[in-house]
Every structure is written in C-alpha cells, then in structure tokens.
Amino acid sequence: MSKDVVTNIILRDDEDYIINMGPQHPSTHGVLRLEVCLNGETVKYVVPHIGYIHRGIEKMCEYDTYKQIIHLTDRMDYLSAHMNNEAVSLLVENALGIEVPERVKYIRAALNELNRIASHHLWWSAFGMDLGALTTFFYGLRDREKILDIFDESFGSRLLHSFVTPGGLMHDVHPNFRKNILEFVKYFRKKLPEYKKLLTDNIIFQNRTKGIGVMSKETAIAFGVTGPSGRGSGFSCDVRKIAPYGIYDQLEFNEVLYSNGDSFDRYMVRMDEMVESMNLLEQIVDKMPEGTEFTAKMKPIVKLPEGEYFQRVETARGELDVFVVSDGKKHPYRMRFRSPNFSNMFTLNILGRGLKIADLVAISGSLDLVIPDIDR
Amino acid sequence: MNSIVKYFSEIFGGVRSLLTGMSVTGKYFISPGEIVTEQYPENRATLKMTDRFKGEVTMPHDENNQHQCTGCGICEVNCPNGAIEIIIKKVPNESGKLVRAIDKHIYHLSMCTFCELCIKTCPSDAITWGHDFEHAVFDRTKLTKVLNKPGSSLKKKEAKS
Amino acid sequence: MEKNTDLTALLAKIAPQGEVVQGNQFPELTISAGQLFEIAEKLKNCKEVPFDFLMDLTAIDFETKFTVVYHLESTKTHDVVVLRTDLPDRNHAEVETVSGLWPAAEFMEREVFDLFGIRFKNHHDLRRLFMEDDYGHPLRKDFKDDINLIEYPN
Amino acid sequence: MILEIYSFSSLTEAIDTALNNSMAPWLATLTELVIIGIVFLSFYALLGLFLVYLERKVCAVMQNRIGPNRVGKWGLLQTIADLIKLLMKELIPIKNADQFLFNLAPYIVIAASFMAMAALPFAKGLQAIDLNVGLFYIMAVSSLGVVGILIAGWSSNSKYSLVGAMRSGAQIISYELSVGLSLLSIVIFTGSLQLSDIVASQADGWWIFKGHIPAFFAFVIYLVAGTAEINRGPFDLAEAESELTAGFHTEYSGIKFAFFFLAEYINMFIVAAVAATVFFGGWMPFHIGNWQGFNAVMDYIPSIVWFFGKTFFIIYLIMWFKWTFPRLRIDQLLTLEWKYLLPLNLINTVIIAFIVLMGWYF
C-alpha cells in the first residue's frame, strides 16, 4: 500500500473516554452510532456502528419481481430516489436489450438532475445546521419545496416516487413539466447567490471547514469514496462521465473537481454541482422531444436471462452499483446494492482522528451521509 | 509590517463577510412578504392536492353503487407488500349461473408503500388514487379498509360495438 | 476514454492458473481461493492498467458453494474486471482478506461475513456489521426467519 | 432637563415615607426589600417569557416563517403554555449523579442573573440599589453564573454535560477579560463606576457618539464578548446542540431545565442593558450637545421607554448574530479572544486613555 493512504486500524485502551454519538443524536442525521473516543476535546478515534435501520433490502429483493424491486430502492437513499430507481430499471433494460424511447431518457435525466439539486438542498440545509447556522435549514428547504412541487405534480408524491420503472416511466409527466423546470431554474439562479453570502463566504464557516478532514486522492480511491465527497479530493469518479448511461453522453456538462479534499472542497463540489445540474436541466428541456410516449414495449412479467448483470449510476452521493445474479426466473437470485454512503462513511475515522469533536460533526456533514442507504 | 497588514486585512475581510451574511437575514427580516409558511388546519378549504396525488387506494363507485372490480386478483399479486387482499364470492347472474365477484376488496393502508403497481396493472381500471391525506387514526386496525361499499355490485360493461 | 481491448489477454497473463471468460459486460477471472490474494495484489500493482478502485465486493450463495465476487476498476483507464473465487465448503468458507490492498474492502468484507458467514483470514477487525452476534446469516439461501415474514407468496 | 413627571423617584420616595411613618424603620426597610423582591421576581419571569417569545418571532421572520401564532393573539401566550408544560413535566432523577449539586446548580445560575438586575438603572429614579461600584458589581455577579454551569455539567454524571461545562468555563474566563476592558474604556471617560454617574455623564450625548471611533470599537468588542459570555450563538459551544446534544443541561428536565433556559435569556437582557447604559446612555434620552429645542422634544419620551428601547435594540442585534452565523469551534473561540479581541481592546483602551488625557472628546 502506498504511503499516502492511511489505514483504519484502531488502537483501543481501557482508559479511553468514550462518548456515544447516536443512535439518537442531532448531527448524525439518522440512526448512526459513532463511538467517539475523546482526549479532552480532541478525537482519538471514531468507530461507526451501523445496522440500526437494516431492513434486509437485498434479501427482500430475492422475493420480489423486478418491477416490485423499484419501490424498495426508493427507500435506500431516499434523497436520490430517482437515481436508485433508474439503476434497477437500466439494469433490466440492458439485460433484456430493450431500447427505451429517446423522450424517456431525457425525462429520466431531467428527474435525476432535479433530484440531485433537491438532495443537495437538503444537504446544504443540514450542513449549515450541523455547524450551528440554523437559518440555512429553512432557506434550503424553502427552495427544495419548489422541486418537490414539480415532483408532486407529475408523480403524486414528493419523496419516494417509484416513478421510473423497467422499460420507461410509470406514466407520462405532467404537461407543465418543462415550464415548471424552467421556472425553477430561473428562481434558483436568483437564490443561489444568497447561499454564497450566507454560508460560503462566511469567515466562521470557512474557518470551520478549510483544512478540516483532509482526504487525499489516494485515500479516496482506496476507501472507495465516490460522488461529490470523492471529487472534492480530485478523484474523477462521475459515472455520468466514465460510464455514461441514458442520455448523458449527448449532454454537455463538466465534472466538478476540487483538489484539496477538505470539508470546504467537498462543500464547493456540491455547490458547483447545483449550478451544473441547472445547466443540464436547461439543455434537457431544450432538447427534449415532443410527444407522449413514456414507455417501451415490455412483457408484463419481466424475466432476466440467466447470468450476472451489473449497472453503475451516479446518485447524489456517489456511485450506486446494482449487481444481479439471475437464474432465469422472475425474481433475482441474488441482488446486491453497492451504496455510495457505505464506503463514504467509513472514512470518518481516518478523517476525524486528531481533530476536535466539532470538526467531526463538520466532516460527517460534508460527507452527506444518509443512514438508510448505509444499512439497506 | 506585512504581517500586521495581513492581521488587519483578515479582520476587515472577516467582518465584511459577517456583515454580508447578516444582510441576507436582515433583508428577510424586513420583508415579511417572503414568508412561506402554510397554516395547515386553517387552510384546509383552499389546500388542494395535485391531480395525481397518491393519498390512498380507492375504488370509485357510481350513483348506482356499482364498481368495476371483477375480482381478478391481479392487484393482489402485484402488490409487493401484501397490502391488498381480495375475498371472492360466487353470485348468480341473470341466467342463474354462479359467477365470480368480489366479496371484499381489503386494503391495508398501513402496509401500502404507494408504488402504484396495483393501479397500473388493474385491467378494468377499478381502483384509483384518492386524494385524502389525513390518515392518522388512534387505532391501527382502522387503517385496514374495505374498498367496495356494502351492497355494491359489478358495473355491467356496455356491449362492445 | 478508450477501453483497453485486450483485457482478457492481460488477465490471462497475470493469472495463468485462473479461468478467464468474457462475461456479458466485463471480463471475468475465476481463481481458487488460495491464489486470490496473490492475484489481487498483481492486479492492483499492474503497470498498464492498475486496478486501484474496488467498486464492489460481495458474495453469492449458490447452495452448493459460495462465490466471492470482486469488481475492480482502474481509475486510470476506467476498465472494469471481475474477480471471482469459489468456496465449496459452505460451513467453513474462508478466504484471504484484501483489505490490505483496498481499505474499502474492510467493511465490505465485514458485511459479507455478517450476511453470509464467510470468514476472511487476516482481517484485523472481523466483527458483525448489521446483525446481532447470535443471529443467523440472512443472505444464505438456507436461512429461515420465522418472525419476519419475508417469504410471502408472490 | 429631564421632565420630572417621568421620574420614578417621587413614587419611590412617597412609598418610603409612607412606610417609615407607619412602622419602625427596620420594619420599613424589610417591607421595602420584600416589595422590591416581589416586583423583581415577577418582572424577571415576565421578561424571560417575553424574550423567549421575541426570539422565536425574530428568528421565524428571518427564516421566512411565521413563528408562534396559535396560542393567544399572535401566539403571545405560547411561552406561558410552554412554561406550564415545563412545570408539569417530570423531574427525572439521574442515577449516580451528585444529587445535592445537581439540584443546586439551576438556583446558582438563576440567582446570579437575578442579583445582577438589582443594580440596573431601569429609568430615572428606578434603580434598586445604586452602588458606587455598580458596573463592577454587575460584571462580578453575572460571571458567577458559570459556577452554576460548571456544577451542572459536573454533577449530572454525563459525558456530554462535562464537555459542555468545561467549554463554558474556558469561554467565560477568556471573554470576561474583553467585557471588562471594553467597559473600562468608558469608565475612563466617566471616571466613575457608579451607574447613575455614568448615565448622568451622557446627558449631552451618548458615549458611543461622544467617544469617537474608539468608543464604537469598544461597543463592538463588548457586544461580541458579551454574546460569548452568555453562551449564545455563534458562541453557544456550551450547549452546542449539533455536537453535544444540549451540553451542560442535557440531563435536566422540567422546571430545572426551565431555570437554565430563563437564566440564559435574562443574562442576554443584562448584557444588553449594560451595553445600553454604558454606551447608549441608559434611560437618558437622545441629546445632542446644546440643541435645546431638539433635546426638549426628546425629553417628552419617558426614560423607561428609552431604556427598554435601547436594550431591545441590542437584544435584537444579539439575536441577529445567532440566527445568521455558524458556530465557532472551541479553539477558534479562544483564538478570537486572545489573538484578536484582547490585543485590539488593549490598544483601544490606550487610545481612549490618550483621548481623555488630551481632552479630545465632547
């Protein structure tokens, strides 16, 4: 192993002053338990304990048909529900060799980007709150509400949509879909400078995040840290670029890369991704073909041919991989989700060691953890 | 000397960034028109869900207390959570022959995850989304609903032209 | 981002003992459990295509055997290969850990240990990740749970 | 000068004379003490409740919300309802806690803030006790509250509480210095620590205007340090909600928690009141030098309105900080004090001393 990569080995001591952060703690965003060893205010080591919300989704998938699995994937990373749905849908479509209509691809991409912005909204809100700036929470959620209204109009639900399905979409999007997206982009472009004024430029915020929790590129690769957290370290891991799916190879966008790998860079990646997603949305609305077709022809019962299938998608938090072993029946024989948060979270120990307890909160906020995705 | 300049420029930069931040909150403080709160129980009259809102699964009945459910059980099979149970009975039709009809279409709202598969797959469009969202009850058994109204019957299909 | 076309040849060169097939998406290399660590190390330190990113590590229960599957990506060329190893002895399944090569494997191995009961030799912290210590291994096909009804008929 | 009709001294003197005429002098003094005590107690409770309500409303509007609006008109009774809830809540006993200290701590905190109010001049002639070291007394007494916080953190036998209490200790020890120094700079102008003297010296203009830029500087430093001293955001490390759940009062429940809660808001009032008194002239109306006409118009506004107006303006500033800024880290907090505030403050004090020496102020 190269020297740049730090290891995760923990040396325990009987005299350790252990604090249990969680399972119910305001800054762990869910039922994550962090066993934090303190030396005064300084963190000696962090041991994450997970499994409080383990629902056995992989096991449940073995008893569900491929169409039914969609609603389970919603509940893994509930903030990027569309991307999760699309992962399974793409896998089934690729395995069966189904070509979905062009329009569906555009709609899916639009939904992905909307969902990414909504997810980053919530992250921004919660990150500010982790650092003690309570007002950010309301500004972020206020703007996220606009996206949820678009979702609500088209799918009837705001968080868990189950809208993307193998072969296309559940039904057509609302006729106002394009108009609403453009309205939102216009609205949010006006509000984004406010985010910068309130938090990004703030001297306290910068002092709290710059140089905190530095993750080198090598560490990011070695620990499999993907998504905005990995790109903050310069690890080019955007699946939309390296293994394009859907319509992404025909759209122009930049992969946001920062190189310092501290909390501030991870923050900036997400802030820039919101801008990038808005650019994508404008392109998509511009190019989206007219029409009403929303699904390819599919048999009512989906059976994958025997074999193994693998699909990578980029969620708001990183790379989601779906791995299916099929035995030719209508249920998968084995279904595996490689969730981005799972790998991201286990860097908490190597990032948080030697820093203050307040920094640990800043780091876990900047990694943007969603606990149900870790436990699955 | 340089370090002193840096020291003071740091202070002034910091204070300026703090003041810009305060200008944002201050701006909202003096513009109460930006308030986005929805006063929920009071605005019940004006609160309108979107057309596609997924509140609960319902079975529309027409004025003759007739529905379209044939009791084929496709929704039951498609439900990933077992939230739908269909109890079948045999009823005589006009010619006196016993035919299938639903006795009870039981819907467990507590188990429903609103994935829309039942509605999507229903061949006779018998069930649809209701817009009611106030589902809170004190007793969990109340979340188990019978969708077909008592005494209802299957709507006759118009003869195909 | 051009794909290295002769990945199967590369794999065959690195692991002459293994069995290389071109799967429906990625080249697949099947090797015995004893050689796993050696081959993994070679793949990681391969000059032309260093497979330095462990995308996924999981296992499959084929009733007769366990198969541990490693999906490796090279961050240089974005090539993906699949490394597989079969563990026929289901009761004492054991394989060398790769957490020394890819630290990401540490927790994925703990997850596999938790859900399948496959032991990883030389893993420095092999504890259960999700479940209680006395719980069964739920992703095994012979696992029965009488309390949580996951096996409803469908 | 100030209209005598707004002075409270005639009222207080009338009560004093009436009491002394009807009973023995010692009994009269005792009765006066009891009256003052009752007045202060009720004032304390009402003020605390109102401040909680005010804070909720202010932060709500800043965050595009309405804030409390269900209980009573505009939600005015919301905090009363909360108080009733807190009164009825169970006081959860903590296992292995030092029961005596655990129960004592809230009273120390609340007593410290209560004592500080005694010396505040609320209006002309409305001051419980006009000590000749009034400013010093307020500073000394208000920093006693940290003893209560330390005891609370230590005795509740919780790790979060202990960390929170230790943070609070370090914080108060550091920031007490800046508070003292920035107040000292005005004392250099007035030459007196007696609060009535300080107010009287601002009859021809407030110190923040009379003292040029250094006085404004001192005010800013006082505001920052004062906010830190009362453990409020962005310096609320002792109860950093996202790090330590609730810091030193994690284990408290019911009315004991309410005591901490109330004391925090009253401390905010005290800090704002001291700032208003020292920098903004206390109950002294806004006067400009020799503009007799303007000054006379200002005199028509009662002194108590002036005092509370200024105080609540400063309270609003403190709230504005809290609802805008992220929280500092403990080492940054100490850096801010020792590396920035203290040196600047020392320089500022020297400059002010020089100004006073040369008589360059109005």
**C71: closest CA among C93, C51, C88, C89?**
C51
Residue B161: pLDDT over 60: no
B86, B142: one domain: yes
Minimal CA separation from A212 to chain D, in Å = 12
Average pLDDT over residues A349-361: 84
Spell out which residues of chain A touch residue C25, defining contact as CB-CB under 8 Å.
Answer: 309-310
Residue D208 CA, distance from chain mean position: 19
Residue D243: pLDDT over 80: no
> Residue D362 contacts by C-beta under 8 Å, 6 or more apart in sequence?
D204, D205, D209, D210, D289
Helices vs strands, H then E, count in chain A: 15, 8
Minimal CA separation from A284 to chain B, in Å = 24
For chain B, what is the domain count? Answer: 2
Chains C and D touch (3+ CB pairs under 8 A): no
Q: B115-147 pLDDT, tens per residue?
A: 888 888 888 888 888 888 888 889 888 888 888
Q: What is the pLDDT of residue A219?
A: 84
Q: 3-state secondary structure string, chain D?
A: CCCHHHCCHHHHHHHHHHHHHHCCHHHHHHHHHHHHHHHHHHHHHHHHHHHHHHHHHHHHHHCCCCCCCCCCHHHCCHHHHHHHHHHHCCCCCCCCCCHHHHHHHHHHHHHHHHHHHCCCCCECCECCCCCCCHHHHHHHHHCCHHHHHHHHHHHCCCHHHHHHHHHHHHHHHHHHHHHHHHHHHHHHHHCCCCHHHHHHCCCCCCHHHHCHHHHHHHHHHHHHHHHHHCCCCCCCHHHCHHHHCCHHHCCCCHHHHHHHHHHHHHHHHHHHHHHHHHHCCCCCCCCCCCCHHHHHHHHCCCHHHHHHHHHHHHHHHHHHHHCCCCCCCHHHHHHHHHHHHHHHHHHHHHHHHHHHHHCCCC
3-class secondary structure, C42 = helix
Q: D309-325 pLDDT, tens per residue?
A: 888 888 888 888 888 88
3-class secondary structure, A256 = coil
Average pLDDT over residues D258-264: 85
Q: A116-137 pLDDT, tens per residue?
A: 898 898 888 888 888 888 888 8
Q: How far apart are CA B58 and CA B117, in angstroms?
A: 14
Q: A220-242 pLDDT, tens per residue?
A: 888 888 888 888 888 888 888 88
Q: Cα Rg for chain A, rounded, in angstroms?
A: 21
Residue C140 CA, distance from chain mean position: 16
Residue A2: pLDDT over 50: no
Q: What is the pLDDT of residue C151?
A: 56
Q: What is the pLDDT of residue B21?
A: 84
Q: How far apart are CA B116 and CA D182, in angstroms?
A: 66
pLDDT confidence of D6, banded at 50, 70, 90? low
Contact D329 A138 (CB under 8 A): no
Asked whether D319 and D159 are in contact (CB, 8 A), the reply is no
B62, B95: one domain: yes
Mean pLDDT, rounded, of chain D: 82
pLDDT confidence of C1, banded at 50, 70, 90? very low
Would you list the domain boundaries of chain C?
7-121
Q: What is the pLDDT of residue D362?
A: 63
Beta bridge partners of residue C120, listed in sequence order:
C95
- Residue D322 identity (one-letter amino acid): K
pLDDT confidence of C121, banded at 50, 70, 90? confident
Average pLDDT over residues C1-16: 67
DSSP letter, residue A356: B
Q: B69-92 pLDDT, tens per residue?
A: 887 888 888 888 888 888 888 777
Percent of chain D with pLDDT over 70: 96
Q: What is the pLDDT of residue B158?
A: 60
Q: Cα Rg for chain D, rounded, in angstroms?
A: 21
Spell out which residues of chain A touch residue B36, defining contact as CB-CB under 8 Å.
Answer: 142, 145
Greatest CA separation found in chain C? 52
Q: What is the pLDDT of residue D101?
A: 87
Segment 264-303 of chain A within 8 Å of chain B by CB = 300
Q: What is the pLDDT of residue A194?
A: 86
Residue A370: pLDDT over 60: yes
Contact D324/A at CB under 8 A: yes
> Residue A31 contacts by C-beta under 8 Å, 6 or more apart in sequence?
A22, A23, A24, A52, A53, A371
Q: What token pair was written down for D9?
A: 């001294």
Asked whether A163 and A82 are in contact (CB, 8 A), the reply is yes
- Residue D103 identity (one-letter amino acid): N
Average pLDDT over residues A321-337: 87
Q: What is the pLDDT of residue C68?
A: 87
Contact B50 A156 (CB under 8 A): yes
Q: What token pair was written down for A91?
A: 């896998």
Contact D63 B28 (CB under 8 A): yes
Q: Cis peptide before A193, with omega less than 30 degrees from 0? A: no
Q: What token pair was written down for A171?
A: 């039904």
Spell out which residues of chain B touch residue C152, defining contact as CB-CB under 8 Å.
Answer: 82
DSSP letter, residue A198: I
Average pLDDT over residues B30-35: 80
Asked whether D138 and D196 are in contact (CB, 8 A), the reply is no
Q: D157-212 pLDDT, tens per residue?
A: 888 888 888 888 888 888 888 888 888 888 888 888 888 888 877 777 777 777 77
The CA-atom distances, in angstroms, between C50 and each of A6, A41, A241 are: 19, 41, 20
Report the CATH architecture of A53-340: Orthogonal Bundle (1.10)
- Residue D22 identity (one-letter amino acid): S
Q: How far apart are CA D125 and CA D205, in angstroms?
A: 20
- Residue D278 identity (one-letter amino acid): V
Q: How far apart are CA A264 and CA A211, in angstroms?
A: 8
pLDDT confidence of D2, banded at 50, 70, 90? low
Asked whether D260 and D38 are in contact (CB, 8 A), the reply is no
Q: Cα Rg for chain B, rounded, in angstroms?
A: 29
Which of A17, A18, A132 has the CB atom closest to D327's CB atom?
A132
Percent of chain A with pLDDT over 70: 98
Spell out which residues of chain D touch residue A132, defining contact as CB-CB under 8 Å.
Answer: 233-234, 236, 240-242, 325-327
Spell out which residues of chain C touch residue B80, defining contact as CB-CB under 8 Å.
Answer: 154
Q: How far apart are CA B42 and CA B29, in angstroms?
A: 24
Residue B139 counted as domain residue: yes
Minimal CA separation from A129 to chain D, in Å = 7
Asked whether B147 and B127 are in contact (CB, 8 A), the reply is yes
Average pLDDT over residues A257-270: 87
Give me the residue label for tokens 């997850």: C111
The CA-atom distances, in angstroms, between A309 and each of A323, B126, C154, D295 are: 6, 37, 23, 85
Q: How far apart are CA D325 and CA A128, in angstroms?
A: 9
Q: How far apart are CA C93 and CA A136, in angstroms?
A: 51
Asked whether A37 and A44 are in contact (CB, 8 A), the reply is yes
Which of A68, A170, A174 has the CB atom closest to B80's CB atom?
A68
Mean pLDDT, rounded, of chain C: 79
Residue B61 counted as domain residue: yes
Residue A104: pLDDT over 70: yes
Measured in degrees and rounded to the nearest 5, phi and psi for residue A39 equal -125, 90
Q: What is the pLDDT of residue A173?
A: 82
Residue B132 counted as domain residue: yes
Query: A17-21 and C66-73 as β-strands: parallel, antiparallel, unpaired?
Result: unpaired
CATH superfamily placement of domain C7-121: NADH:ubiquinone oxidoreductase Nqo5 subunit (3.30.460.80)
CB-based burial of residue A255 (10 Å sphere; 0-12 exposed, 13-18 middle, 19+ buried)?
middle
Average pLDDT over residues B7-36: 83
Query: C80-87 and C27-32 as β-strands: parallel, antiparallel, unpaired?
Result: parallel
Asked whether A52 and A366 are in contact (CB, 8 A), the reply is no
Percent of chain D with pLDDT over 90: 0
> Residue A243 contacts by C-beta under 8 Å, 6 or more apart in sequence?
A312, C78
Residue B40 counted as domain residue: no
Contact B77/C at CB under 8 A: yes
Give me the residue label for tokens 């700079």: D185
Measured in degrees and rounded to the nearest 5, phi and psi for residue A87 equal -60, -50
Spell out which residues of chain A touch residue C53, defining contact as CB-CB under 8 Å.
Answer: 221, 224, 237
Which of A50, A58, A224 has the CB atom closest to C129's CB atom?
A50
B11, B66: one domain: no
Q: How far apart are CA B153 and CA B101, in angstroms?
A: 8
Q: C14-46 pLDDT, tens per residue?
A: 777 777 777 777 888 888 888 888 888 888 887
Q: D30-51 pLDDT, tens per residue?
A: 888 888 888 888 888 888 888 8
First vs last Cα of chain C: how many Å apart?
44
Percent of chain B with pLDDT over 70: 97
- Residue D325 identity (one-letter amino acid): F
B18, B77: one domain: no
Q: What token pair was written down for A13?
A: 């001591």
Asked whether A357 and D243 are in contact (CB, 8 A), the reply is yes
Q: What is the pLDDT of residue D3?
A: 56
User: Which structural domain range is residue B106 located in?
Assistant: 49-151
B11, B84: one domain: no
Asked whether A312 and A244 are in contact (CB, 8 A), the reply is no
Measured in degrees and rounded to the nearest 5, phi and psi for residue A175 equal -55, -25
Residue A261: pLDDT over 80: yes
B125, B63: one domain: yes
Q: How far apart are CA A347 and CA A48, in angstroms?
A: 10
* pTM (predicted TM-score): 0.87
B67, B105: one domain: yes
Reduced DSSP (H G I as helix, E B as strand, rest coil) percent helix, strand, coil of chain A, to 5 = 50, 15, 40
- The sign one gets for the Cα dihedral D310, D311, D315, D318 is positive
- The sign one gets for the Cα dihedral A335, A336, A340, A345 is positive
Residue B54 counted as domain residue: yes
The CA-atom distances, in angstroms, between D230 and each of D46, D79, D165, D263, D269 are: 20, 21, 13, 9, 10
Q: A61-102 pLDDT, tens per residue?
A: 888 888 888 888 888 888 888 888 888 888 888 888 888 888
Average pLDDT over residues A344-366: 85
B6, B74: one domain: no
Q: How far apart are CA D178 and CA D217, in angstroms?
A: 12
